[in-house]
Amino acid sequence: MLNRFTADYLETLAAADFRPTPKVSGRLSSYDGLLMEAVGLSLPVGTICEIGGHGDAKVEAEVIGFRNGRTLLMNLGGPAALLPRAPVRPIGAPGEAEVGAAMLGRVVDGAGRPIDGLGPIRGAGKWPLAGKLQSPLDRGRVLEPMDVGVRAINGLLTIGQGQRVGIMAGSGVGKSVLLGMMVRAAQADVIVIGLIGERSREVADFLETKVAGAARQRSVVVAVPANHSPVLRIRGALRATAIAEAFRNEGKKVLLIMDSLTRVAHAGREIGLALGEPASARGYPPSAIAMLPNLIERAGTDVRTGGSITAIYTVLADGDDGNDPVVDSARSILDGHIVLNRHLAERGVYPAIDIGPSVSRVMTDIAHADHIHAARVLRRHLATYEENRDLVLMGAYRPGADPAIDAAIAAHPAVMEYIKQGSDEIVSLGDAIGELTGVFGA
């Protein structure tokens, strides 16, 4: 009887294909408040680890590199009561993002945890945080305009479905307000919003004022405020982009908003300097700037599915410097940029869009000839007026001396009226084009 039981038990174990796997564990050897070093384990970059602290305290960290046989990790949380030789154990594989219809209407942090109090997210699919590499021939052209509800952008800087645009300005000039205007009016199937490295107060404000009501049900928000770990800030940007990619793969028209791209570069700078990279322009290591094209190039149109990601990034120009490394790099990669001018804001012109240096590189592909002609006439009048503004204000210009200046002076009130718009006002694409061609189309 005993022999038969033993034989049956052993056969059952053999049929189950039981393969025991050892638990990998290491020890903490160094910690300076941000960067950790562990010995005794070898893990892929991106792996999430749990480190035991004093008592029952535990902290999560991500593997970011290797040095002299040691594994380098970066803290994903706040201050931790860690002790030398604390145990380090892997708890998660290199990242995937939760995606799909289950994410609609939800707010998550950089690690994908819901922070909206609506419980766990069930039924979500998976998509690599780093995205799936596409052939350049899988990217379609931008041929259809997108209505964003802002008169100056619809008429003078027309945005297309699948375009990547940057809103560039210094602090406090109105980037977030302009984003809110665009979110409320955007004609898109899904809106993915990444609030990366901004003030915590802005997260609740953005949800209650910019994506309230019906817009909330077709939106996904990834919120990683400025006081979070730099690794989480970068993960938040990657997560928002991965969610948008998954919806595009379903054939949907996606609007991706990221506020702000500069904070992502700042997070890359913190990590790069902690790893010992040499600082170059403005203290940015090469990896921080090289990360931007990898992120931005993931947006665009997919010719296989017909879906598109129209991406709008805010870019903070430190000290209102248009030659800041992040601004300069983003300008070279994006399909257009909208520059906000502090002097216009000080004169009460909102949104404070500086039409002269702003450009949409796809407008000629998606706009009609009469629309393009009217936009160029307005630009010409505005440029002529700004070049001679000081002469006019001082009274040094004599009317009739130059017909172009006379025409610019006469048209200036209409130009300023066209650019101005209330933050709660929505001007459709058709209305914006009609007003533009009606006044400046002759």
Calculate the alpha carbon distances from 371 to 29, 36, 161, 365, 408 in Å. 65, 57, 18, 12, 19
Residue 237 falls within a domain, yes or no? yes
Please identify, among 363, 383, 407, the residue that sits at the C-terminal boundary of a domain.
363
3-class state of residue 229 by DSSP: coil
Rounded to whole angstroms, how far apart are CA atoms 101 and 258?
20
> How many structural domains are present in the chain?
3
Residue 81 falls within a domain, yes or no? yes
Same domain, 306 and 181: yes
pTM: 0.87
Same domain, 52 and 118: no
Residue 12 falls within a domain, yes or no? no
Express each pLDDT in 23-33 by its tens digit: 778 999 988 87
Express each pLDDT in 243-254 by its tens digit: 999 999 999 999
Same domain, 274 and 411: no
Please identify, among 40, 56, 90, the residue that sits at the C-terminal boundary of a domain.
90
Give the pLDDT score at 22. Answer: 63
Same domain, 127 and 227: yes
Same domain, 60 and 81: yes
Please identify, among 338, 363, 388, the residue that sits at the C-terminal boundary of a domain.
363
Same domain, 80 and 226: no
Q: How far apart are the first and last CA of the chain?
A: 103
Half-sphere exposure of 373 (CA within 13 A, CB side): 9
What CATH number does residue 418 fall under? 1.20.1270.330
Same domain, 135 and 171: yes
What CATH number does residue 63 fall under? 2.40.10.170
For the chain, residues with pLDDT lower than 50 are none
Give the pLDDT score at 67. Answer: 87
Q: In terms of residue numbers, what domain contains 40?
A: 26-90
Residue 252 falls within a domain, yes or no? yes
Same domain, 148 and 49: no
What CATH number does residue 173 fall under? 3.40.50.12240
Residue 16 falls within a domain, yes or no? no
Give the pLDDT score at 220. Answer: 93
Whether the CB-CB separation of 354 and 339 falls below 8 Å is answered with yes
Rounded to whole angstroms, how far apart are CA atoms 400 and 122?
71
Give the pLDDT score at 10. Answer: 59
Same domain, 222 and 271: yes
Whether the CB-CB separation of 325 and 282 falls below 8 Å is answered with yes
Rounded to whole angstroms, how far apart are CA atoms 442 and 437?
8
Same domain, 108 and 238: yes
Same domain, 327 and 271: yes
